[in-house]
């Protein structure tokens, strides 16, 4: 698929992230129940949730980029924790980067 599941990185990343802040324009006047209007829009999100890590592909390596597909297109904190752990491990074990400890 040659797709980045880290939003905003690479040439091909999810455009329809299941995230209210990404899918509703910053200047929109909305109420609590108006989010459904933006959820159903066919256009890509007006705001890029840079750095958000979405659920990613299914086991058969398919990914449906759709706001209603919360299993694959919703950013989650438990996915991001893996990246933070890996990057912090690299920083503390790399000879190129001085340790913070």
**Residues tagged active-site:** 18, 65, 74
Q: Are 50 and 75 in contact (CB under 8 A)?
A: no
What is the Cα–Cα distance from 26 to 100, expressed in whole angstroms?
Answer: 37
SS (H, E, C) 38-49: HHCCCCCCCCCC
> How far is the first Cα of the chain from the last one, in angstroms, to the nearest whole number?
39
């Amino acid at each position: 698929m040659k797709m980045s599941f880290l939003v905003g990185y690479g040439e091909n990343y999810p455009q329809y992230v299941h995230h209210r802040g990404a899918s509703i324009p910053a200047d929109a006047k909305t109420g609590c129940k108006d989010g459904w209007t933006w959820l159903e829009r066919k256009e890509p999100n007006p705001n890029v949730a840079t750095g958000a890590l979405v659920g990613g592909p299914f086991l058969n390596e398919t990914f449906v980029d759709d706001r209603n597909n919360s299993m694959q297109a919703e950013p989650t904190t438990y996915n991001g924790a893996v990246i933070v752990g890996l990057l912090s491990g690299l920083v503390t074990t790399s000879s190129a980067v001085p340790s913070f400890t």
